[in-house]
Structure 1
């Protein structure tokens, strides 16, 4: 055999040996750079608190910085649109409150389709919430709040983190179920809205961020929302115990999403590490302080939940004539 013919198979073998590590390196590239963790609400909001807890947990699991960026505006739509328009490489993620994807898109042209423009990855948990009133309002229970609203038509108002937020819809649902009128007062985030309740500038609000204000007695809780009683307030009745809220859309989750067309292996890797982070006792405790019940789901389960909640919320918004 000539030297040239002998070299050919050797070159082929060498090329194969060199190619194999290259494939391995390609699979290990993610994450090649720090991740952007977009919080579509301002600092201090519940979404922001959850973003910071989970970004730290994910950073430890992925071995690279995961940096929170607050991109607030339009009830969370600004940050959500930024992620929807980002490169689908898994390096730009959205920490969505359910309202960004199940409420706001029904109310205005937010610039993204919640069912087509994102790749759902994981859920941090289902959110508990509290209905709290300003201390100067002469009510101590939910029936008293409803009675006050009926007896004083057009007097009550309620704050929220913005038009299209979960607090916006829940306030409207409560007024509808109670048979009274309440004016919606949107704020640029839940923190300033909660401060307005404490200051007496708005009468009530439905949001987990009010929990520390209730504990410090700067706001008064009259009921909780969630799958059951909130462990932080074991003596506080759930709205369902008053015969309302059972038919309300859930939509209380905080979820992690990537742009659509993000490679499936990347989505699965982030899901795996995110869910592993939920097992950390410190992460679990922090999320529960913010009113979440940690919950591990697959990307497929999250995708199905998003679709169900989006449809159910649309039906409720049309019934309430909220547009």
Structure 2
């Protein structure tokens, strides 16, 4: 007991010295809640688990992923928007629940007012995948088949207001064919519905492992360039589709409005450091994400621009 008592001041001195050297932290020792607004197994969930571990290591605290799914990601986003702004409740957002879903229903939050941008995770690749029984191998073939079989095709998505929902509607509009939207409570069950043959088509990165395993057929990819997991699969734009589509393919970290600037700056620094870690980058790329570091201000401008563009598109499609 005497030895422990003598050692305690020394340990505290070393801890304080480390804190002073690194700069005062805005975070206490209590766990940080990392809200994933989609079910386990979804792309958002996979990314949340990679980044929560990386962020926890750099902050020196426990970062716990909580899945709060529902309403195309709006349930989890609202939870964070209404949370105490103490930097201990964060949202792993995808573009869908910030720039699409708020145009479609009363989600209970304003993404431009009620959430504070923290850091961009990166641009998301995606893949247009069909059930192998569908006799198509290209976008042109899909369009031709859909036109010859009016009203037959349906497409699965992670829910109303998800990026997959909007992209499916845009593909049908550009291809001038009818398709029925089949929303699911997350991208994993949506992909499984296509694997089972209950749905014909999905546009989502979650389909990638099914394509690689031969359970689905990839006919196009979406992203800034060809997806390195599928170098032989042409992009949508290479097949003369999707050039005017709004950009709904990104993930980012957000906090409640009113979170102190110092805490956001600290989170941004650690988050961007994590993105530069080769192991983290490799993990994110496996899930179809190209990491991109950005400031909170750059992310705020991105959200505002994509929110406006998606709203215009949804109204044109008469979805909103």
With normalisation by structure 1, the TM-score equals: 0.91
Q: CA deviation at 1:282?
A: 1.0
Question: Counterpart of 2:165?
Answer: 168
Q: 2:26 touches 2:262 (CA, 8 Å); kept in 1?
A: no
- Count of matched residue pairs: 301
Question: Counterpart of 1:248?
Answer: 245
CA deviations on 1:168-221 (whole Å, 9 max, x unpaired) are 000000111111110000001000010011110000000000000000000000
Q: CA deviation at 1:247?
A: 1.1
Q: 5 Å matches for 1:120-199?
A: 120-199=117-196
The 1:79/1:211 distance shift into structure 2, 3 A limit, reads: same
Q: Does 1:98 align with 2:63?
A: no
Counterparts of 1:151 and 1:228 in 2: how far apart (Å)? 31
Query: Between Structure 1 and Structure 2, whose CA radius of gyration is higher?
Result: 1
Q: CA deviation at 1:27?
A: 4.3
Counterparts of 2:172 and 2:287 in 1: how far apart (Å)? 25
Q: Does 1:208 align with 2:205?
A: yes
The gaps in structure 1 that reach 5 residues or longer are 1-20
Question: Counterpart of 2:79?
Answer: 82
Q: 2:99 touches 2:310 (CA, 8 Å); kept in 1?
A: yes
Q: CA deviation at 1:104?
A: 0.3
CA deviations on 1:74-100 (whole Å, 9 max, x unpaired) are 111110000000011110000011000
Q: CA deviation at 1:31?
A: 3.4
With normalisation by structure 2, the TM-score equals: 0.92
Counterparts of 1:245 and 1:145 in 2: how far apart (Å)? 14
The gaps in structure 2 that reach 5 residues or longer are 1-16
DSSP-derived class of the 1:28 partner: coil
* Aligned Cα root-mean-square deviation (Å): 1.4
Structure 1 stretches of 4+ with a deviation exceeding 2 A read: 26-29
Question: Counterpart of 1:30?
Answer: 27
Q: 5 Å matches for 1:3-18?
A: none
Q: 1:31 touches 1:62 (CA, 8 Å); kept in 2?
A: no
Q: CA deviation at 1:29?
A: 4.8
DSSP-derived class of the 2:152 partner: coil
Q: 2:205 touches 2:288 (CA, 8 Å); kept in 1?
A: yes
CA deviations on 1:4-58 (whole Å, 9 max, x unpaired) are xxxxxxxxxxxxxxxxx9xx7x943523421000000000000000000000000
Counterparts of 2:113 and 2:232 in 1: how far apart (Å)? 42
Question: Counterpart of 1:108?
Answer: 105
Q: Does 1:306 align with 2:297?
A: no
CA deviations on 1:79-136 (whole Å, 9 max, x unpaired) are 0000000011110000011000000000000000000000001111100000000111
